[in-house]
Every structure is written in structure tokens, then in C-alpha cells.
Amino acid sequence: MQKPFEIEDFVVIDETAPVANDTHGGRAKCLQRLIRLDLPVPLTVALSFATVRRLASGGQVDTAAILRNFGAAPLVSVRPSSEDPDWGGPGAILNIGMNDARHAELANLLGHAAADRLYVRFVQTYSVQVARLDPDSFEAPDDPDGSTLTAMLDAYEAEMDEPFPQDPARQLSDVLKSMARAWEGTSARLLRQARGAPAEAGLGLVVQRMAPGMGPPESGSGVIQFVSSDTGLPQITGRYLGQSQGRDALFDESAVYLTRDPRGPSLEEMYPEGFDRLMQYGATCRQRLKEEMQIEFALDAGRLSVLDAVRVQRTARAAVRIAVAMAEDGAIEREEAVLRIEPGFLAHLMHRQVDQKAARDVIATGVAASPGAATGRIVFTSAAAQAAAARGEATILVRRETSPEDIRGMHAAHAVLTERGGMTSHAAMVARGLGLPGVVGAHGIALNRRARTLTTPDGRVLNEGDLVTVDGTTGTVLAGAVPLLEPNLDDSFRTLLHWADEVRDIGVRANADTYAEAKMALTFEAEGIGLCRTEHMFFEEDRLTLMREMIFAETAEGRAASLERLVPMQVADFCKLFEVMAGRPVCIRLFDPPLHEFLPQSRDGLRDLADAMGLPLSRVTRRVEALSEFNPMLGLRGVRLGITMPEIYEAQARAIFTATIESSTPEMPVVPEIMIPLVSAKREVELVRGRIEGIAAAVRSETGASFDYRLGVMVETPRAALRAGEIAPHVSFLSFGTNDLTQMTYGLSRDDAGRFMSVYVQQGIFTEDPFHRLDVEGVGELLQLGASRGRAVRPDMKLSICGEHGGDPESIAFCRAAGFDYVSCSPFRVPGARLAAAQLAL
């Protein structure tokens, strides 16, 4: 693509200079904006990405020419300017140009102390960061003087066999080269890629006239911002330090507050005019740059300079509050606020937290790397986490440290705990990205992968499968399950999502099986339930046996007996769901129990079942063997169960209709949606539909009540998608179950894919795990075919997706483009889906 202007090696930034984010980096562009706002930015020269790249590979740039812009005896700083400030870059280097002559001049001008400190600082940074000498030899006391300077210059000469370079042009050239090379280094590359930068991301550099911040009063430097990074609420934060440079004030205990503070002196009291001007600059940035900025400033004998401004760092909570507050003040449009928040970010606000009132048995502590809390069984490998997730079990992935191979395991786990690492280590960054509670760097825990044990610092030994709670908000690991508090979402979160709802044009429902999940779905303002997996209503210990009795009954009479007990439970469950959803749509899926999930696995399980059924163990064992399948995911499940044992779906239909009548009021009639799973043939639908209609008629005549309902099919087999045209006349909606559809399209077991998925992704065979992100090319084509064939027959056919993909922004984009009515995803993903959907519509 042709650039709108020729890019020179370097350019003096003024109001019209040709600098852009993608040629000179975000810092250069931001400085230009500050200049346009008339802020007192010292003269700045920007070097382009191309120039820096050339420098990194041994090329030259005319540094004497750069310095000529700064007049005689210049003193300058160099800062990195990457395209996105979050991608980082090498540390700033200040006071370039200091040499013996300049030192003598400045001693006259600013005093000896200031001149010594400026020169010491430069020799120190140059020696360590540019010449790469041992930092221990260049440690400076807090109050360096002439002798410190002499010692440092001597140390430099001794190490380098040459005196400290005196020529400013050479100094600048060495600084620029070393920063350019640092950017190309492997660790810098990995770090920025982990922050989302492309491999070939460029670096610009800005050379700026120093505002020394040292000399006659009032001289110093500081950093100020006008909102809290934690909460996003208005709050003046930052520090100021006299006789200092750069960000010194942030790290020095003698720094003063900015605004009046009972804890100590403040800049506002010491130098009110400067403070007032900073306040005005903050307001100007907010209004004109449409962003809350953190401003780095310097005072030189009372003259204020703005050296730099960066977007205020912010937590997810602060990000939402800032965006909403700016839109409410009219600084930005509401749509802009909606666009500013990454949908994945919302997860940070929505996680459970440990109830602080609960008893806590702390077994390890570490860095609070990712907020939220989760309870689960410990596993030591990603494969174990994935296998457990496929069984619907919550796990805590415990690793020494994580690597990209662990990402799939982290997706599957409910929290992550690592022995090593810190706030920016892989585990921490990935966990935050996923909204997964995480504690990293839990020093003192010892992992033994072979024995599958974790030894805590106080000597307790935990085995794989033991229950722990990870509290990523406080950085602690607790023994066992601990009461957790549901997330507390503040007004700005809700406001932002309401704005999102105003613009989005695809519905968002939740997958919720139980009353508790339905309540959670409502907290997140789902429009209804898109998938209630009725067999999950029987996962609890005391109900599981009943479900098993029904499945293992050998005769229709036996089955009828267990159904008789099961139906009232279902009626009560459905009534509660209808009640909590208060007129919102509820889509109930008829039983779809893959037999391997419901077969008793152990001898104890078999004995319990024998007890419950009053049968000898040998008979139950034989029955279980007879029912065992080689391929349960492709076996007797879904509608196949409904066809071969019709009384099961009939009983469920009766339960749904009974609950419908009980829960309906004249003002708010319940209209349940009933969904048939795992369909592959039209005839299956015809048969089930006929029976459900029969039950509806029977219930109507038995009760004299009238009610309505809708029937739909889950498209989970490729054949159902291909034959959607002939299924369509029988149903009013199609819901794509993309978990099974992905499994069957790829011929890839949901339960086993984790064993080799990472190899496939690493080798680029799959760009992403198709169980996380919809495979738009293959599975997507089936979605499109099914949708268009269904709608060709029934133009009013409701279309939706209810597999895991329903919460993924890219998959939502696909469904929206394909004309779907809604997506349905787990309750915690609902806010992200609402926001992602809105962003697509803008």
C-alpha cells in the first residue's frame, strides 16, 4: 500500500509533520497530538520504523544531523515508540549529550550537584544499557557527587579500554543502535507477541530535548493521571519529586503528592500554578484526545514541560467505567464506548470471588495473577484437564510453569496454579486473557509429576484429584471447596451492555440447565435459555441413580416405574425455570445422555444401582455390559433413545406441558420450546413430533387447559444439516449443536481430541482448535447449507447456535452473517457475546 507521504530517516515533529502510528509509532503520533493541543512539548525528532530496522541490521543514520535540530550543546533523551504502546520497547535513555564540557557548563548554570547527577545518570545508563557492562560496577548512591562521577568514568575506561565517549553524535548513534537491536532480540520479540503484537512489529524512536528537571527551584519531574487505574473513578494520582527526571518520582519515597493530601506535602501547595495547568492539560486530553491520559511532566526553574502522555493503564473494571463516563460526559459517543471494550475483557468483572467471611485454610500463596476464584480437582497435565472437562468436571491445572502447549489445558481448566512465574509470565498473561482465575509463582510448592502429587510449603501432600480452591484475586490457594460469592457487576458494566443491546441485531441466550444457572443467566441479562440439557438436571448424586434406573430398565414397565418418579421432579424443575425466566423463552432439549456418561464406572456404582433396583449385582452387571457401546458418542443417545424407548420422551413432554400449565398466567403464558437432539433423519422428527402432539392433546383434554409450544430440531449431525429442507416442514426452529457437529464433521472425538490437538495446531494443520472457534470453512458450510435449506422451506424458521462456539466473537460474527436469530452460550459468556454482537453491528 502506498503511504500518503515519503518517510524520511527522521523528522522533526510539529503540527503537520508526516508521522503516523504505523510509520513512527504511537508515542511519536501522540506527541504530535499534544503539540497540536498547544501543550508545551520539548522539541522532538521521530525516527521511522524503517530507520530503526536499518540500524538494527548494521546501517547508519546521521546523528549529527539529528542533533543539529537541537542547537548547540544539546542534551536529549531517546524513548521507544512502538505502534501500540502496550507492546512495550526498550527503556528510555536520558541525558544523551552529557560530556566533560557540558558538565562544566551545567555546573555553572544549574549548580554542581545537578550537573554531577545528570552526568552520573547518563554514564550509568549508557554503560549498562548500551555498552552492556556489569551493572554492579555502575551502582550509584542516592546522592552522587563528583567522586561518584570520577569512579564511574574510570570504571568505564577500565572495562572498555577507551575513555567514556565525549562526542554527542557518537553517543546518540550508539544509543539508537542498541535500542534498535534490543527490539529485535528474542526475549523482546516473545514478550511483545504475548501482548498481541505481530512478529514483524516495527519500532520507532523519539529523540527529545531534555527538560533536565534539575537546577534552581522549582525543578523536578512527575507523573499525573486524573482517574484511578483500579476503579476508573475520578482521582488525581501520581507523584512529583524535586530534582528528578523521568519516572523517578514513582519510585522514590521522598516524592510528594500532587494534590492536597493529609499524609504529606503536595505539588498543589508547593506550586499551585503548575498544578492548575496540569489539571487543564488533563481535561484537554480527555476532551480532545478522547482518552484518559497519564502525563509525564518536568519543571525547570518553574517552566512546565509535557514530555509524554500515555493512555492510563487500567483494570477491566476501570476500562468499562472510563468508557461509560466519557460517553456520559459527551467526550465520546456511546457507540465508541461500546467499541472500546474487548469482549473477552468482561470476563474479569464477572468471576466468582471467595467469600471473605468463610473459613480459609491457606495451603499456598503466590502472585495474584488473574482475578476470580474457582474450586476444582487438581490435575498436572493439560491432557488430564481436557479429559476432565469433557466429562464436565472442574479442574485446577497445576504446572511448574506453562507454555503454549498448555493453552488448551487452560481453556479446559477452571483455574491455573504455577510454581514459577510472575505477573507477566505466560501463565499469568494467558489466564488473564481467558478470564481464568490464576495464581502464579507459588514458591514453596513442590510438584512431582510422576507421583502426581503436590507438596505444600507446610509439608501437606495433595494427590491428583484432590479438591482445592484457587483465589486469583488475593493470590492464595485454599484447601477444599470454599463458599464463593457471585460476581457483583456495577452500574457502568450494565450501562455499557445496555448500550450494546440497543445496537446489536442478533439475540443472545444462555445455556442453562438448572435453576442456579438460569439465575446466573438472568444476572447477565440473557434473553432466554437457548439450551437446557435435561439430562444434566440429573447429575446430582441422589438423582443420578434414578436416571440410571430408567436407562437400565429392561422392560417398558420397569422404565415406566422409574419415569413415574422422574416426571414430578422434571415438572418441579421446569416450573422453577419458567418462573425464574419470567416469560422469556426457554428451550428444553429432550434427554441426550451418552451412555458412557451414565454407566456406573465402578463396582460401588454397580452395587448402588443394584440396591436401587432391587436386583442382584450379577444381573445389573450383565445389563451394563449389554448396554456398553464401542462408540457411545455415536451410539444410543439423543433422539435414538426417544425412538427406541418412546415412553421416555413422552414422559418428558408430559412434564413440560404440566409445568407450562402450572406456570402460565393469563398475562404471561409460557410457550416452551422443545428441541430434539442428534437428529439425522426426517422420519425421526415425524415420529417424535407425532408423539409429542399426542401428549399435548392428551394433557389439554385431561386438564381443560390450553397452551402453545414450539418444536425444533438440533442440527448436530452432518446429515441433519444436509437434509434440513425435509426436516423443516415439521419444526419451527433449528438450533445448531456445533459441539457434536464439529465432532462429526471432522470425525474427531470431543473426548479424545485434546491428546493431539496441540500437535495439529502447532503444525498449522488446524489454525485453531475447532471445538473453541467455529471452523467456518467446513462446519460453517454445513451451517450455511442447513440454514438456507431450512429457510427455503420455512422462511420464518428460527435459527440459532447452542454449541460452545456461541460465546466466541468470531463464531458470533459468522452466525450473524448467516442470518441467525440468536446465539446461546454459557451464562458467563453472555455479556461478552452481547458486546461482541454489538460491535459487529457498528
Q: Which residues are catalytic?
A: 426, 802
Select from 69-77, 363-371, 445-453, 711-719 the region that touches Mg ion (CB under 5 A): 711-719
Question: Read out DSSP for 444-496?
Answer: T-EEETTTTEEE-TTS-EEETT-EEEEETTTTEEEES---EEPP---HHHHHH
Q: Which is nearer to ligand PEP, 265 or 392 (CB)?
A: 392
749 is a contact residue toward ligand PEP (CB under 6 A): no
* Shortest Å distance, C-beta 599 to Mg ion: 18
What's 538's DSSP letter? Answer: G
* Shortest Å distance, C-beta 536 to Mg ion: 12
* Shortest Å distance, C-beta 741 to Mg ion: 8
The distance in angstroms from the start CA to the end CA of the chain is 26
SS3 string, 337-396, reads HHHHCCHHHHHHHCCCEECCCCCCCEEEECEEEECCEEEEEEECCHHHHHHHHHCCCCEE
Q: Which is nearer to Mg ion, 9 or 716 (CB)?
A: 716
From candidates 220, 238, 754, 803, binder to ligand PEP by CB under 6 A: 803
* Shortest Å distance, C-beta 715 to ligand PEP: 9
| Nearest by Cα to 429 from 413, 409, 407, 445 | 407
What contacts 66, CB < 8 A, 6 or more positions away? Answer: 10, 45, 172, 207
593 is a contact residue toward Mg ion (CB under 5 A): no
| Nearest by Cα to 711 from 701, 694, 703 | 694
Q: What share of the chain is helix, strand, coil (3-state, %, to 5)?
A: 50, 20, 35
For CA atoms 169, 47, 40, 71, the dihedral sign is positive
| Nearest by Cα to 535 from 509, 569, 485, 488 | 569
For CA atoms 178, 180, 181, 186, the dihedral sign is positive
Q: Lay out the site mask for ligand PEP across 674-713 (x = CB under 6 A, - = otherwise).
A: ----------------------------------------
* Shortest Å distance, C-beta 739 to Mg ion: 5
| Nearest by Cα to 96 from 177, 182, 198 | 177
From candidates 248, 527, 740, 769, binder to ligand PEP by CB under 6 A: 740
From candidates 9, 513, 673, 740, binder to Mg ion by CB under 5 A: 740
The three-state secondary structure class of 237 is: strand
* Shortest Å distance, C-beta 590 to ligand PEP: 12
From candidates 523, 739, 749, 784, binder to ligand PEP by CB under 6 A: 739
Calpha distance 483→478 (Å, rounded): 11
Select from 89-97, 351-359, 546-554, 709-717 the region that touches Mg ion (CB under 5 A): 709-717
Calpha distance 281→287 (Å, rounded): 10
Q: Lay out the site mask for ligand PEP across 712-731 (x = CB under 6 A, - = otherwise).
A: ----x---------------
Select from 498-506, 566-574, 723-731, 738-746 the region that touches ligand PEP (CB under 6 A): 738-746
530 is a contact residue toward Mg ion (CB under 5 A): no
Q: Which is nearer to ligand PEP, 517 or 740 (CB)?
A: 740
Select from 232-240, 296-304, 712-720, 751-759 the region that touches Mg ion (CB under 5 A): 712-720
* Shortest Å distance, C-beta 513 to Mg ion: 13
712 is a contact residue toward Mg ion (CB under 5 A): no
Q: Going by DSSP bridges, is the β-strand pair 10-12/586-589 parallel, antiparallel, or unpaired?
A: unpaired
* Shortest Å distance, C-beta 683 to ligand PEP: 21
Classify residue 621 by burial, with Cβ atoms within 10 Å: 0-12, 13-18, 19+: middle
Calpha distance 405→409 (Å, rounded): 8
807 is a contact residue toward ligand PEP (CB under 6 A): no
* Radius of gyration, CA atoms only, the chain: 33
Residue 94 near which of Mg ion, ligand PEP, none (CB within 5-8 Å, type-dependent) = none
804 is a contact residue toward Mg ion (CB under 5 A): no
Select from 77-85, 250-258, 384-392, 708-716 the region that touches Mg ion (CB under 5 A): 708-716
Select from 128-136, 345-353, 665-673, 734-742 the region that touches ligand PEP (CB under 6 A): 734-742
Residue 531 near which of Mg ion, ligand PEP, none (CB within 5-8 Å, type-dependent) = ligand PEP
* Shortest Å distance, C-beta 586 to ligand PEP: 15
* Shortest Å distance, C-beta 392 to ligand PEP: 10
296 is a contact residue toward ligand PEP (CB under 6 A): no
344 is a contact residue toward Mg ion (CB under 5 A): no
Calpha distance 337→380 (Å, rounded): 41
The sheet carrying 10-12 orders its strands as 10-12, 44-47, 203-209, 76-82, 93-96
Neighbouring C-beta atoms of residue 26, cutoff 10 Å: 21
* Shortest Å distance, C-beta 674 to ligand PEP: 15
Instruction: Look up residue 833 and give its three cell numbers.
Output: 457475546
Nearest residue to Mg ion, by Cβ distance, number only: 740
From candidates 221, 738, 745, 800, binder to ligand PEP by CB under 6 A: 738
From candidates 26, 343, 366, 737, binder to ligand PEP by CB under 6 A: 737
Could you tell me how many residues make up the chain? 842
| Residues within window 297-326 making contact with ligand PEP, judged by CB under 6 A | none
Q: What is the distance of C-alpha 694 from the center of its chain?
A: 48
| Nearest by Cα to 705 from 662, 672, 656 | 662
Select from 3-11, 291-299, 737-745, 781-789 the region that touches ligand PEP (CB under 6 A): 737-745
Calpha distance 609→598 (Å, rounded): 11
For ligand PEP, how many residues bind (rule: CB under 6 A)?
10
Instruction: Look up residue 172 and give its three cell numbers.
Output: 546518540
Select from 325-333, 363-371, 390-398, 736-744 the region that touches ligand PEP (CB under 6 A): 736-744
Q: Which is nearer to Mg ion, 34 or 720 (CB)?
A: 720
| Residues within window 519-558 making contact with ligand PEP, judged by CB under 6 A | 531, 533
From candidates 293, 802, 830, 835, binder to ligand PEP by CB under 6 A: 802
| Nearest by Cα to 130 from 173, 178, 202 | 178
What contacts 793, CB < 8 A, 6 or more positions away? Answer: 725, 728, 729
Q: Which is nearer to Mg ion, 256 or 389 (CB)?
A: 389
Calpha distance 324→334 (Å, rounded): 8
Largest CA distance in the chain: 106
| Nearest by Cα to 835 from 493, 351, 327 | 493
| Nearest by Cα to 807 from 347, 493, 433 | 347
Q: Which is nearer to ligand PEP, 454 or 590 (CB)?
A: 590
Q: Which is nearer to ligand PEP, 51 or 742 (CB)?
A: 742
| Residues within window 564-623 making contact with ligand PEP, judged by CB under 6 A | 592
* Shortest Å distance, C-beta 522 to Mg ion: 24
From candidates 737, 786, 827, 832, binder to Mg ion by CB under 5 A: 737
Q: Residue 220: which region, alpha, beta or left (left: phi > 0; alpha: psi -120 to 50)?
A: left
Residue ranges that bind ligand PEP, judged by CB under 6 A = 531, 533, 592, 716, 737-740, 802-803
Residue ranges that bind Mg ion, judged by CB under 5 A = 716, 737, 740
